[in-house]
Structure 1
Amino acid sequence: MQKLTNKEEEVMHILWKLEKAFVKDVLAEVTDDKPHYNTYSTIIRNLEDKGYVAHNAFGNTHQYYPIIAKEEYRKAFMNNAIENYFGNSYKSMVSFFAREEKISADELREILNMIENKE
């Protein structure tokens, strides 16, 4: 699975939300500075080339839809981040978030309970 740029990820989140969309529908969801229609059209075509989206043609217009599920992308993204930034160690990842105070002791206990009660 090819890595996405930040803008490509932004578009994918919109497509996952909308499920099917024309470029104008994607543009309507953008909250930041709205680039030109052609810019987003190019981004979406790049996503299609990378195998993330497909389209249905309606004359000269295309309706795009994701062919990679959000969960599938999340799993690949997280596995890549854990490998590249935490030496493939989930323990290092969790301790990082604990040190950064992004996860509390109560949340860690809850996670431990989930792991222990998995059986």
Structure 2
Amino acid sequence: MSLSKAEEQLMQILWKQEKAFMKDLIEAYPDPKPAPTTVATLLKRMQDKDFVDYKQYGRSREYFPLVKKKDYFSKQVNGFIKNFFNDSASQFASFFTKETNLSKEELEDLKKLIDNEIKNK
């Protein structure tokens, strides 16, 4: 299950804060800030998708993520590679290195990362 753009933006805030009350979440948005009802709707949808939960303190709810940022983005990237590059990491790597205008240094850094991963396998 994935998040809408608006849900993902809110999730980014929650990942950064780790746990937060509604007012903290709204405060973290850039201007113009969304209405509390909008944020409440997003949180409810994200809760239904099992991305967030909350602890009740009197009338206030402290929200926290149920999904780790790394896990979510790993799943998104793998889905992207599967859908757009026929599940081929090498097709994705070829496209990425050619189409993103990486500098020689950035390509060398990527090569080091790949070489380290090969050593660790």
Provide the TM-score with structure 2 as the length reference.
0.87
Displaced runs of 4 or more, over 3 A: none
Provide Cα deviations, 1:8-60, integer angstroms capped at 9, x if missing partner: 00010000000111111111011142221011011011111100111000122
What is the root-mean-square deviation in Å for CA atoms of aligned residues? 1.6
TM alignment of 1:1-119, pairs within 5 A: 2-118=1-117, 119=119
Q: Secondary structure at the match of 1:88?
A: coil
Maintained 8 Å contact 1:98/1:104: no
* Distance in 1 (alpha carbons) for counterparts of 2:55 and 2:73: 25
Provide the TM-score with structure 1 as the length reference.
0.88
* Distance in 2 (alpha carbons) for counterparts of 1:3 and 1:20: 21
* Distance in 2 (alpha carbons) for counterparts of 1:52 and 1:101: 31
Q: How many residues align?
A: 118
Give percent identity, aligned residues only. Answer: 35
- Runs of 5+ unmatched residues, structure 1: none
| Post-superposition offset of 1:86 | 1.6
